[in-house]
Chain A
Amino acid sequence: MSECLKYLPMLTARDGELSPMERAGLEAHLGACHACRARLAEERLLSGLVGEAMQAEASRRDFSGFSDAVLGRIDQRPWLVRSLGRLWPWGQPSPVRAWAGIAVPVLAAVALVVYLGLGSIFSERYQPGEVEVSSEGHDMTVIQTDDGPVVIWGDLEQPEGT
C-alpha cells in the first residue's frame, strides 16, 4: 500500500518528467501491482479530456470581433494607465526585475521628498535669524540676533585708525 502511495502521483508523468530512478521504480511497481495498472488505464482514458473539453467550449464561441475589441481597448487606455501598465509585474519577463522597476522610482521619489523635507528642516533650524544693527555712538554697536542682543564695543563704520 505504501508503495502505491509513492507511485500514484507518478502515473501520469510524460516521457522525461521522471528521473531514471523514479521511472524504473514505477515500472517495477506497475509490473507487480494490479490495482495501479487499473488506475493507469483509467488515467489514460481521461488523459487529454480536460484539454479537449476546454478547446471544444472555446470553439463554440464566436471570435470574429475579438481582435478588434482588444485593439480598441488598447487605443482607449488613457495615457496614465498606459504608463502605469508598464510597471505591472507579470508583464515583465522577470517579476524581480519588474518589482525593481517599481521600487527604484518609488525609492527615488521617497528620497527626494525626504531630502526636501529635511532641507526645509535644516533651513528652518540653521538659517541665521534677522540681524538688526544699531549704533549707539562710536564706542558701541548693538546687534539684535535671535539669541538676544550682542554688544560690540567700538565703531563698526569707522574702525579706529582709518
Chain B
Amino acid sequence: MEADDLTLVSRAKAGDRDAFRALVVRYQRKVYAVALGIVRDRDLAWDVAQDTFVRVYSHLSSFKEESAFASWLFRIATHLSIDVVRKERTASKDDVDEVRESALEDGAEGILSTPLGNDPQDNLLRRELRDRISDALDGLPEKHRTILVLREVEGLSYEDLAERLAINKGTVMSRLFHARKKMQAALRRYAGRRGASNE
C-alpha cells in the first residue's frame, strides 16, 4: 500500500530521500501541468516544476502537518509560475473583469455547441477540442489563464481560488467567466471552420 502524503513528508523531514522522491514522483506531472498551463512554455514549465520541488524540500521543516501537502505544493508552483510569466511578459494590459453587456453578444445561443454537438461524452470531439485548448490558452492574459488552470487542472473551489489569488469570491466568478468567454471565442473560431468544412 502506498504511503500517504503526510507519512512521506514526515519521513522526508527525518532525512529519508526516498520518501521525498516518492512525493516528487507522485506530483511531478500535475505540478508540470499546472506550470505549463500558466507559463505556456514547455522548458520554462519544466524548470518551474523542478524549482517547485527544490523549494518544497528547502522548506520542508517549516511545513505543518495539519495542512494539506498538495495545497502547499501547488501554492508554491502557482506563485513560481506567475513570477516567471511576469518576468517574461512585456508590458501588456489585461482586460478588466467587469461583466458588461458585450459579454452577452457572443455565444448567446450556444454558437460553439451547435456545430460541435451537445454531447459532452463525444470523445472524438473532446480530443479534437483538447488539442485546440493549448493554442487558445496562449491567447489569454496571464490572470485569466492562471485562474482557468487552477480551476480546471488543480480543481480549486471558488473559496480556494479566492485565497490562492488573494481576490474575493465575486472577482473569482467574474474572472473565471471572462477566461471562459475568451477560451470559447478562440475555440469558436475553430468550431466555425470545422462546421463550415462539414457542410
Contacts and interface: CB of A to CB of B under 8 A. Distances in A.
Interface in B138-163: 148-149, 151-153, 155, 157-159
Contacts of B157: 14, 16-17
Given A50-B152, A67-B24, A13 B158 contact: yes
How many chain A residues sit at the interface, stated as a range, is 35 or more
A88 B46 CA distance: 21
Majority-rule SS of B interface residues: helix
B58 interface: yes
Contact of A93 (B24, B62, B101): B62
B99 A66 contact: no
Interface residues of B, number: 73
A35 B108 contact: yes
A12 interface: yes
A149 B86 CA distance: 70
A44 B126 CA distance: 12
Interface of B: 17, 20-21, 24-25, 28-30, 32-34, 36-37, 42, 46, 49-50, 53-59, 61-64, 67, 72, 75-76, 79-80, 99-101, 103-104, 107-113, 116, 118, 120, 126, 129-131, 133-134, 137, 148-149, 151-153, 155, 157-159, 173-174, 176-177, 180, 183-184, 187
13 contacts: A5-B101, A42-B107, A54-B34, A61-B29, A63-B28, A70-B50, A85-B55, A86-B62, A88-B58, A90-B55, A91-B55, A92-B59, A93-B62
